[in-house]
Chains A and B, each alone.
Chain A
């Protein structure tokens, strides 16, 4: 971790009040996003990956949410200390976000053109005509055919893949330094997914922006990220360069995850390797390591104490017994 990182998250903890009690959705998470890099954040539902992303955008509804501690610095400026009015200038201009379901992110009663022109003019001094030209240019860049016609259409008139491309065009229209993509292809079909991911990667190269890619799909991470974080139960448990993460995963959870995903194999397996048990309830977390109950390696120490993140060559890992699995 260097001081000149584009985004620097330190000791971030976020809680939500629910009917059943207070849930800590993100617990003491620290990481950096370097200029121009693609960082993957992977984990299963409820692991805190989306909440972390929303915190960077300052889009956590408060209440019920509350940022308990930590800092989020963009080019050294602490976003948590900014008033909402200044944050609004940063959103869209410096950091943009695209969501899993573009239909809910686009306004159904305005045309694509209206929404794009608004976003562009919000951050750049431009008249409507030039903003419109810029919107057409962006739609062309994301591979939308006949963009000037599309501008007059409403979100429901577009297919899912097309809507996600409109979202990307809109998110990139002000040239952000960081794009947060939360499961951008999960709602799309495989063939469309491939189109959209290729679009994101090529635009990233053109614009030299950094991308934070949040997904549950280890395949998507492997194909597009240089580095990836693995989250479990609100905590960061492993952080490593992608190749190393897939070749020499250090945390038993990462290892289990990589083994248990069904993948196209030459030889079909009789049974798939599994991670036994289920994710613990965030309201009733064990005192020690949160993975201990499901971990084949867990010792007394693991059940009593939480393992800190330690450096192991190129990897940061939160485990008392990291490294190659013993089978």
Chain B
């Protein structure tokens, strides 16, 4: 570890109480995020993949404290965000922003593009009136929208254009970290690649770090430096994009990779079809949460949660949480 990562997430958990019965007592905890740790270095992208309900969106929101975490720490540039009071948090929010999946739902239909983008500048009292107007125009240019759209409303735009407005809004406070939650999933293929290129360009030009959340493994590979695979509230494998796609180690990652339809009729791959469905996070199976669907499950998997093991090198860790790997394959990951 040479330089301290911009964002350090340690044992982060987010539980939602499940209420039931006549008295609406808490009868169970839904562990949407359960003890997750990862780093995002400055100017880099950490891709988070997983299927619906795995907790990836909750994790993204917990990192920003849009959901109050149940336990764990989130350090941005060394400061523990989770320990901040309301007032202090507002100041830190300038440094961390979010882009949502559906730009139609996340933009107010009653506000023009100008008002939407200016709002953050107004809230944080940045610059004077002329300064803010000039900044809004500059932001529009950065995301590739024409100046003429300033006084239009969201419904007048296509999905791709709306997402550009959402990106401009996120950029207004010059954040160094952005959570991008499925930012291209609602877009058509031909527009998807335009927006992905824009995000990559912003990272190059402004050194922004991204937590990029998506269910689309091809998109995540394209945009990410490091990738984490989530299943039922936990990260089961983390490595560089090259390692995780080149040599997936966790049986779940392997199944995910094999399930992606390849746009080439000549390729025929051996597919690992997983039996059954993702279990409920209210009553996760004992032991490794993946064992009921795992083609390689052993006896120990049914009773004991697997440890996280580094099967890569000290310089380029490849961490996998699975009983198939043990210290013999690499050093046991121990974060300090």
Interface, chain A (partner B; CB < 8 A): 44-45, 159, 161-162, 189-195, 197-198, 216-223, 242-243, 246-247, 256-258, 260-266, 268-276, 278-279
Contact = CB atoms under 8 A, between A and B. Distances in A.
A193 B241 CA distance: 23
Interface in B184-208: 188-194, 196-197, 200
B222 A269 contact: yes
A264 B256 CA distance: 12
Contact of A192 (B161, B242, B258, B277): B277
A185 to B, nearest CB: 9
A190 B189 contact: no
Interface string B250-270: 000001111111111111000
A190 B52 CA distance: 10
Nearest to A197: B261
Chain B facing A: main interface SS: helix
B261 A262 contact: no
A264 to B, nearest CB: 5
B193 A274 contact: yes
Given A242-B265, A257-B190, A271-B200, A190 B158 contact: no
B166 interface: no
Interface centre among B191, B215, B221, B261 (most CB of A within 10 A): B261
B188 A216 contact: yes
A225 to B, nearest CB: 8
A259 to B, nearest CB: 9
B51 A219 contact: no
B271 interface: yes
Contacts of B257: 264
Nearest to A145: B276
A226 to B, nearest CB: 9
Given A44-B190, A219-B261, A274-B193, A262 B158 contact: no
A194 B273 contact: yes
- Give the 8 A-B residue pairs with the shortest CB-CB distance, closest first: A219-B261, A189-B51, A44-B188, A272-B193, A194-B259, A275-B190, A262-B218, A260-B193
A278 B158 contact: yes
Contacts of B289: none
B193 A263 contact: no
B188 A222 contact: no
A222 B261 contact: yes
B255 A268 contact: no
A105 B161 CA distance: 32
B261 A260 contact: no
Interface of B: 51-52, 158, 160-161, 188-194, 196-197, 200, 215-219, 221-222, 241-242, 245-246, 255-267, 271, 273-274, 277-278
A247 B277 CA distance: 36
A195 B192 CA distance: 26
Interface centre among A217, A218, A243, A268 (most CB of B within 10 A): A268
19 contacts: A45-B188, A159-B277, A190-B217, A194-B273, A197-B261, A216-B189, A218-B263, A223-B261, A246-B263, A256-B190, A258-B263, A260-B192, A263-B262, A268-B242, A271-B197, A271-B200, A274-B193, A278-B191, A279-B188
B271 A222 contact: no
B263 A268 contact: no
Contacts of B260: 190, 219, 264
Contacts of A159: 277-278
B240 to A, nearest CB: 11
A218 B188 CA distance: 12
A262 B222 contact: yes
Interface centre among B193, B196, B197 (most CB of A within 10 A): B193
A273 B158 CA distance: 20
B44 to A, nearest CB: 13
Nearest to A46: B188
A190 B265 contact: no
A191 B274 contact: yes
B265 A246 contact: yes
Contacts of B278: 159, 189
Contact of B262 (A162, A219, A278): A219
Contacts of B241: 268
